[in-house]
Amino acid sequence: MTTERAEQDTVAFEVRDGVAWVKFNRPEKRNCMSPKLNRQMLRVITDLEFRDDVGVLVLSGEGTAWSAGMDLKEYFRETEAQGLGAIRQAQREAYAWWERLRWYQKVTIAMVNGWCFGGGYGPLFACDLAFCADDAQFGLSEINWGILPGGGATKVATELMPMRKAMYHALLGENLKGPQAEAAGLVNESVPADKLEERVTEVAQNLLRKNLATLKATKDAVRRVREMTYGNAEDYLIRAQEALSWHDKSEGRLEGMKQFLDDKTYKPGLGEYDKSEAASAGD
């Protein structure tokens, strides 16, 4: 593609069977993140967040890349040429959608189909689960062009990997292939490329059978308690459950108890209750 891609064309999406399939859509630039893409991504995920027909969001990339990180030309060189105000504006636009995704109302899955570099670790971490193709490659390539892994990338590496692995990864700038990324903790699973969408679809459909209000409370709890003392976490989890009981208008926990204790139609240890039987679909 020789002509400049319009802002609204930098992200593609479709909603199918309860899943929003969102794609970085600059394959000709290996889906690197420009200010335009960052603005458009925030718009797209915001529009999808509270739709009733969306229960899970999957983020993947068009073409051979998931995302080749920040756009060295449009995000760095061109904004730096405009001064500090433009730099801060570009940073805010990028961080805004990563943060939105970290606390997204629906469960999010990174489906890493190819290259994932540097700034790409922001949205990678923002997604609750991550699956990749065996031939995908992950790298903190910042060291290779003379910067440190900023924009949260260092934080992501140390959150997901043990210290020695994170340090090696950041200092050497060597790429990890899918199975190595799985072993290092960057993704849940690495699978053959031709099985990636099938596996992600399966996980998404399994999630969709669960109570969606409970999924939101649970994903937030996992992220929040990491930064708390044990005592604070205990207290937070009581408050979070009580808030969930208010937010879940389908009263899922009461239905779950009823189907197990009274109806004896399922066992919580072996699967989820049938939410279609619940009083109202409040989730």
What are the residues binding ligand ACO (CB under 6 A)?
A: 29-30, 32, 64-65, 68-73, 115, 117-119, 141-142, 151
Nearer to ligand ACO, 31 or 108 (CB): 31
Report how far residue 16's alpha carbon sits from residue 19's, in angstroms, rounded to the nearest whole number: 5
Could you tell me where the DSSP H helices lie in 103-251? 121-126, 153-160, 163-172, 178-184, 196-208, 212-225, 230-247
Give the Cα-Cα-Cα angle 87, 93, 98 (nearest 5 degrees).
Answer: 125
CB of 89 vs ligand ACO, minimal distance in Å: 17
CB of 30 vs ligand ACO, minimal distance in Å: 4
Q: Which of 211, 216, 237 is nearest to 226 (CA)?
A: 237
CB of 194 vs ligand ACO, minimal distance in Å: 20
CB of 150 vs ligand ACO, minimal distance in Å: 6
Nearer to ligand ACO, 145 or 238 (CB): 145
Nearer to ligand ACO, 9 or 272 (CB): 9
CB of 99 vs ligand ACO, minimal distance in Å: 17
Backbone region of residue 163 per phi and psi (left: phi > 0; alpha: psi in -120 to 50; beta: other values): alpha
Nearer to ligand ACO, 63 or 282 (CB): 63
Q: Give the three-class secondary structure for 67.
A: strand
* Contact predicate 25/38, CB 8 Å: no
Nearer to ligand ACO, 48 or 136 (CB): 136
